[in-house]
Amino acid sequence: LAKTTQPISMDSYEGQEVNITCSHNNIATNDYITWYQQFPSQGPRFIIQGYKTKVTNEVASLFIPADRKSSTLSLPRVSLSDTAVYYCLVGFSGGYNKLIFGAGTRLAVHP
């Protein structure tokens, strides 16, 4: 299973765009890249998933370069409620395949 590396922590201010980059040098051909958000004492919540290029949904964008060895989660105009831990996971997302969590990035959004 591909190992992921993310910054341990990041700080931002309300209204700013936040970009969190994840390295996954050993990503396999079948692997997808998925980002989750976790608040204290809650289960992780799905944010976005992609395979290559760019994916955008109502809460975030995911940028994946051609070599797929890294990915960047972009959160536009963060608010205080975006303070959480963000996890980048890499793996084949088919039914039986497990996903391993890395250390995650602790994002703190300040007023």
Partner 1 sequence: GAVVSQHPSRVICKSGTSVKIECRSLDFQATTMFWYRQFPKQSLMLMATSNEGSKATYEQGVEKDKFLINHASLTLSTLTVTSAHPEDSSFYICSARKGSVANTGELFFGEGSRLTVL
Binding stretches for partner 1 (CB under 8 A): 32, 34, 36, 41-46, 49, 51, 87, 93-96, 98-104
Three-state secondary structure of the chain: CCCCECCCEEEEECCCCEEEEEECCCCCCCCEEEEEEECCCCCCEEEEEECCEEEECCCCEEEECCCCCEEEEEECCCCHHHCEEEEEEEECCCCCCCCCCCCCEEEEEEC
Q: How far is the CB of 46 from partner 1 (least distance, A)?
A: 4
User: Between residues 70 and 87, which has the closer beta carbon with respect to partner 1?
Assistant: 87
User: Between residues 94 and 111, which has the closer beta carbon with respect to partner 1?
Assistant: 94
